Amino acid sequence: MKIGFIGLGIMGKPMASHLIKGGHTLFLHSRSGVPEALIALGGQACSSPSEVTKNSTVIITMLPDTPDVEAVLFGNYGVVQGLSADSTSPTKIVIDMSSISPIETKKFADKLSNYGCSYVDAPVSGGDIGAQNATLTIMVGAQESVFNEVKSLLALMGSTITLIGDIGSGQICKIANQIIVALTIEAVAEALLFVSKAGADPQKVRQALMGGFAASRVLEVHGNKMINRVFEPGFKIALQQKDLNIALSCASALGMSLPNTAVTQALYNACRAHEGNKWDNSALIRILEIMANHEIRPN
């Protein structure tokens, strides 16, 4: 297939590479420039989202935030400017794999439907490691018939692909994912900091906990990062904060409270106040360390 891919950062670059290796022709665009590695694999650089769209049947976006997706879809030289008004042209499909507002997602889908374009929201979980290994969990909101058209493409990027429901459902699922991930990161950070200040070896405690009911992927991966002070992203704190903002905004619109999400969000806000926008989200522990006047060190 002829596939457009817009957004080639930490996540998008390896995801696009899997599609090329899967035998598809890719038309690429990124505001930071198309990586040479993707060109070497056979990807074709485009000057704008509209140029990507003109050359592609399926257009995938992997962008930081809701306004970024809106600009790529509807801004100057955006996707809509590459869509044909010719009713005989094949229907194009936009797959947004960013993590954005489910409310705006539905609005974007409605607007694109006026151009005869189908829409899929398919946010992912698994981080940069999952993107590199093509083991992402992909949460999909779409009409079932459209989902069936693109499932084989998604399978080149992820190992667990679930149709949650109609458009917007994928983003709702991703919000739930981010609530669980963020609160678990905070819990692991508190536990390991407590262990360290109390005088036990945090690495040995982590190994012990991995064999019990407290075991989790967050304890395995992020716990190790915390102990060994590996805070290069990964998934940036700024993006984790953005996702929690979406969660809290949606909760407010639903007239409900997410109290622990709000507390964890405040800690991420504090990280950003300490110039931690680009830290890995496991670096949440740094703020707790400041509060405890103690820094974890591997024994």
| CA atoms of 217 and 109, how far apart (whole Å) | 33
Closest by CA position to 173, among listed 227, 118, 99, 95: 99
| CA atoms of 76 and 25, how far apart (whole Å) | 25
Q: Which residues are catalytic?
A: 174
| CA atoms of 43 and 49, how far apart (whole Å) | 15
- The answer to whether 235 and 185 are in contact (CB under 8 A) is no
Task: Give residues with Cβ within 8 angstroms of 142, minimum separation 6.
Answer: 118, 119, 120, 121, 122, 150, 163, 166, 167, 170
DSSP structure class, residue 210: T
